[in-house]
């Protein structure tokens, strides 16, 4: 299978250059320090503030990647993973979804402030690319939006992040394997059980045929309980995929 957009890298470079002409090189968080389009208009000072970027490092849950404080020398599962039926092998996220990162994600998704895209993509690529390049994965599948939601938002943030990761890893994107068939409520304020019920039958396989054991990365922007990505993984496994892992930009705590 081919990537969904082989010219994505050159297009992104062109967009970065265009943004540099339209917007001043000022951080769009503090509006004081210098920051360029290539940096996603987030300055070094905002990066390093107390609620700034926090990359996720071990120890973390071996299934969902939930980070824990303290010293742990053996693999463990968090209570969420022990109590849920998850259909992916593992999930990992680049950074903690808090403060600066959460503000940027919300402004990017809901206010269409797409100049933040290079910042978010850089976080994902920094964490995910070195890991994925040591493993064997065949496809990146972004979590799809329902057509109504995509028309409203004008873009799918998971698909945009997937293309950035594809450029960095040479793993092709296949954005047409899954479709969202239910216009689900936002997961933000739902409990764990409500999240699972909300997305239980939300996704379907789009192709007529089946996969042939391909190892698939499901890609999304934020993971909290894993209900959405697990629902995607379930459909992929039922339709012939091999193991499924999940990567997201950020991890809700």
What is the rounded average pLDDT for all residues in the chain?
A: 88
Q: Is 175 left (phi over 0), alpha (psi -120 to 50) or beta?
A: alpha
Helix extents (H) in 23-170: 44-47, 79-83, 99-110, 117-132, 147-153, 157-169
Q: Is residue 204 part of a domain?
A: yes
pLDDT in tens, 174-184: 999 999 987 76
Q: Is residue 22 part of a domain?
A: yes
pLDDT at 1 over 50: no
The percent of residues above 90 in pLDDT, for the chain, comes to 66
Q: Is residue 13 part of a domain?
A: yes
Contact by Cβ (8 Å): 195, 109 = no
Strand partners of residue 245:
90, 217
pLDDT at 2 over 60: no
Enclosing domain of residue 29 = 8-251
At 142 the pLDDT is: 98
At 83 the pLDDT is: 84
Q: Considering just the CA atoms, what is the radius of gyration of the chain in Å?
A: 18
Q: Is residue 2 part of a domain?
A: no
Q: Is residue 229 part of a domain?
A: yes
CATH value at residue 131: 3.40.50
- Ordered DSSP codes for 12-63: HHHHHHHHHHHS-SB-TTTSSSB--GGGTT--HHHHTSTTS--B--SSB-TT
The percent of residues above 70 in pLDDT, for the chain, comes to 85
Q: Is residue 211 part of a domain?
A: yes
Q: Is residue 89 part of a domain?
A: yes
| CB-neighbour burial class of residue 130 (10 A; exposed 0-12, middle 13-18, buried 19+) | exposed
Name the pLDDT band for 253 (thresholds 50, 70, 90): confident
Q: Is residue 25 part of a domain?
A: yes
What's the Cα-to-Cα distance from 203 to each of 133, 199, 238, rounded to whole Å? 28, 8, 12
3-state secondary structure at position 90: strand
pLDDT in tens, 11-27: 555 555 555 556 689 99
Total domains in the fold of the chain:
1
How far is the first Cα of the chain from the last one, in angstroms, to the nearest whole number? 35
């Amino acid at each position: 299978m081919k990537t969904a957009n082989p010219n994505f890298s050159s297009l992104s470079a062109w967009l970065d250059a265009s943004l540099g002409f339209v917007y001043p090189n000022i951080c769009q968080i503090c509006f004081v320090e210098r920051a360029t389009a290539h940096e996603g208009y987030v300055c070094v000072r905002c990066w390093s503030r107390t609620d700034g970027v926090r990359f996720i490092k071990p120890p973390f849950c071996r299934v969902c990647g939930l980070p824990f404080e303290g010293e742990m020398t053996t693999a463990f599962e968090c209570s969420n993973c022990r109590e849920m039926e998850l259909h992916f092998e593992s999930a990992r996220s680049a950074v903690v979804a808090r403060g600066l990162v959460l503000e940027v994600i919300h402004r990017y998704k809901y206010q269409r402030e797409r100049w933040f895209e290079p910042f978010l993509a850089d976080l994902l690529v920094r964490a995910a690319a070195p890991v994925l390049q040591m493993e064997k994965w065949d496809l990146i599948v972004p979590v799809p939006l329902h057509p109504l939601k995509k028309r409203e938002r004008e873009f799918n943030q998971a698909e945009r992040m997937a293309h950035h990761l594809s450029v960095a890893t040479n793993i092709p994107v296949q954005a047409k394997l899954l479709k969202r068939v239910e216009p689900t409520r936002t997961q933000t304020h739902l409990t764990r059980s409500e999240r699972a019920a909300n997305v239980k039958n939300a996704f379907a396989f789009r192709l007529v045929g089946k996969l042939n054991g391909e190892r698939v990365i499901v890609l999304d922007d934020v993971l909290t309980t894993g209900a959405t990505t697990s629902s995607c993984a379930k459909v992929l496994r039922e339709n012939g995929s091999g193991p499924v892992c999940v990567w997201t930009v950020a991890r809700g705590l």
